[in-house]
């Protein structure tokens, strides 16, 4: 996660920008947006990172590489928001953190999001969700809710929300580029069996004649 924080801090250094209230309202009404405003109650202590890259800043980032980095421009060009909240987990907040993870799970699965990754092992817990487009060609939002152990630093919680249109073939690249937990290592794209099944079911449903 340190690599993730370093990457975002460098990006902010080179791409400081103000975002209007209207633009903020635009992404807050987006179906891929998850309200993480209550994270402020956890953002205390020394191991805390709160990063929010909004549309204007992301547009600037997409131009930083010039013609030499077309893949990077393509990754961020259609994104409206990247938000990361990270903080240490100890006895004082561990129960509240797990309650938040469970709350997010209920909220997203009840809103047609799909949990595409779940890991729970010896106190570590990671869930990854995507909101697919109607044709299953793209992702309209991504959420990561994770608690894991860091060498020498105890346990750390990370909550990520990415809002915008993401091609499934680029999902792994996005995770690798921004060091989002578990995304870069996942075998989850539009050719996976489960994803293809849902896409085919949607196509068949659309082909049925309307009565």
More confident residue, 136 or 6: 136
Residue-level pLDDT at 73: 73
- pLDDT over 70, % of the chain: 61
Contact status, residue 47 vs residue 2, Cβ threshold 8 Å: no
Q: In the chain, what are the domain boundaries? A: 2-204
Q: What is the mean pLDDT of residues 47-51?
A: 84
What is the pTM assigned to this prediction?
0.76
- pLDDT over 90, % of the chain: 22
Mean pLDDT across the chain: 76
Q: With 50 as the cut, is the pLDDT of residue 190 above it?
A: no
Instruction: Give per-residue pLDDT as tens, 133-152.
Output: 888 878 899 999 999 876 55
Confidence band for 211, pLDDT divided at 50, 70 and 90: low
Confidence band for 4, pLDDT divided at 50, 70 and 90: low
Q: With 80 as the cut, is the pLDDT of residue 164 above it?
A: yes
In whole angstroms, what is the distance from residue 194 CA to residue 211 CA? 29
Contact status, residue 87 vs residue 156, Cβ threshold 8 Å: yes
Q: What is the mean pLDDT of residues 60-80?
A: 70
Residue-level pLDDT at 188: 47
Length of the chain: 211
Strands (E), 99-152: 114-121, 124-132, 138-150
Residue-level pLDDT at 46: 73
């Amino acid at each position: 996660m340190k690599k993730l924080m370093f990457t975002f801090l460098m990006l902010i250094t080179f791409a400081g920008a103000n975002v209007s209230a209207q633009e903020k309202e635009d992404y807050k009404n987006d179906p891929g947006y998850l309200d993480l405003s209550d994270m402020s109650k956890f953002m205390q202590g020394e191991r805390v990172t709160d990063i929010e890259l909004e549309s204007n800043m992301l547009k600037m980032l997409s131009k930083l590489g010039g013609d030499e980095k077309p893949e990077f421009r393509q990754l961020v060009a259609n994104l409206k928001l990247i938000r990361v909240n990270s903080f240490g987990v100890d006895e004082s907040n561990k129960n509240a953190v797990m309650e938040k993870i469970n709350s997010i799970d209920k909220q997203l699965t009840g809103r047609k999001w799909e949990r595409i990754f779940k890991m729970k092992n010896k106190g570590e817990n990671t869930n990854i969700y995507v909101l697919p487009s109607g044709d299953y060609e793209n992702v309209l939002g991504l959420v990561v809710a994770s608690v894991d152990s860091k060498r020498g630093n105890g346990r750390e919680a990370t909550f990520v929300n990415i809002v915008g249109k993401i091609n499934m073939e680029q999902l792994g690249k996005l995770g690798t580029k921004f060091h989002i937990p578990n995304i870069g290592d996942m075998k989850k794209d539009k050719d996976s069996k489960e994803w293809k099944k849902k896409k085919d079911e949607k196509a068949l449903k659309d082909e049925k004649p309307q009565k």
